[in-house]
Chains A and B, each alone.
Chain A
Amino acid sequence: GESVGLHLPTLSVQEGDNSIINCAYSNSASDYFIWYKQESGKGPQFIIDIRSNMDKRQGQRVTVLLNKTVKHLSLQIAATQPGDSAVYFCAELSDWRFGNEKLTFGTGTRLTIIP
């Protein structure tokens, strides 16, 4: 069935270093992906999105790469800061063209920034 999954459940990175969080998906028809950050006690927060007509998109200190050939996307966070410690989810937005948005989330990666 359709799924959006993550390679690693935990990741520890030294403050100031770059981090890369990976995500694999199985539905080749998936065409809209979103990365969310969830801090303890809070709901998921939108970070960045990418549609299938792109293979790279950049935001402030974040870059998302999409490889449709191998059905893989990644989130790169540059110059990590303590505030980046959180659980990161990739999600596929389905049915968005029809307005019936539904997010299918991956299992999440816990990123810990080591001071």
Chain B
Amino acid sequence: KAGVTQTPRYLIKTRGQQVTLSCSPISGHRSVSWYQQTPGQGLQFLFEYFSETQRNKGNFPGRFSGRQFSNSRSEMNVSTLELGDSALYLCASSLSGQSNTEAFFGQGTRLTVV
């Protein structure tokens, strides 16, 4: 079965622009989480969605937002891009539930802000 798919794989944007990243979870998975990975800060949790609702949120500014659709696909948006937003953005999906919490990660979207 297909894994977690993130598009695009690479993206270059200029400061002040906005960007939308997409994530298609594994079929049947209803939880989608987003993480930012940078050399300086490591892997940091952005937010988690389940059944189109944001259930958990990390410590990122309001410029970072997301949503989930009825088919569980998710998008995250970053507005007014800053140089420091350059990072690998990872999406993870899971069945979600006490008995099965294993998260499967996509390959990520490499965002470069210039």
Contacts and interface: CB of A to CB of B under 8 A. Distances in A.
A46 B48 CA distance: 18
Contact of A49 (B4, B102, B105, B107): B102
Contacts of B43: 44, 89, 91, 103, 105, 108
A93 B102 CA distance: 10
For this complex, into which size category does the number of interface residues on chain B fall?
A: 20 to 34
Nearest to A95: B56
Given A32-B101, A42-B107, A103-B33, 7 more contacts: A43-B4, A101-B31, A101-B33, A101-B56, A102-B45, A104-B45, A105-B42
Nearest to A42: B107
B35 A97 contact: no
Contacts of A43: 4, 90, 92, 105-108
B28 interface: no
Nearest to B88: A43
Interface of A: 32, 36, 41-46, 49, 89, 91, 93, 95-97, 99-108
A43 to B, nearest CB: 3
Interface of B: 4, 31, 33, 35, 42-45, 48, 50, 55-56, 58, 90, 92, 94, 96-98, 101-108
A37 B4 CA distance: 16
For the complex of A and B, list the 5 residue pairs with the smallest distance between their C-beta atoms, beginning with the closest.
A43-B105, A105-B43, A100-B56, A100-B55, A44-B105
A107 B38 CA distance: 10
Contacts of B48: 100-102
Contacts of A105: 35, 42-44
B103 A101 contact: yes
Among B35, B44, B101, the most chain A Cβ lie within 10 Å of the Cβ of B101
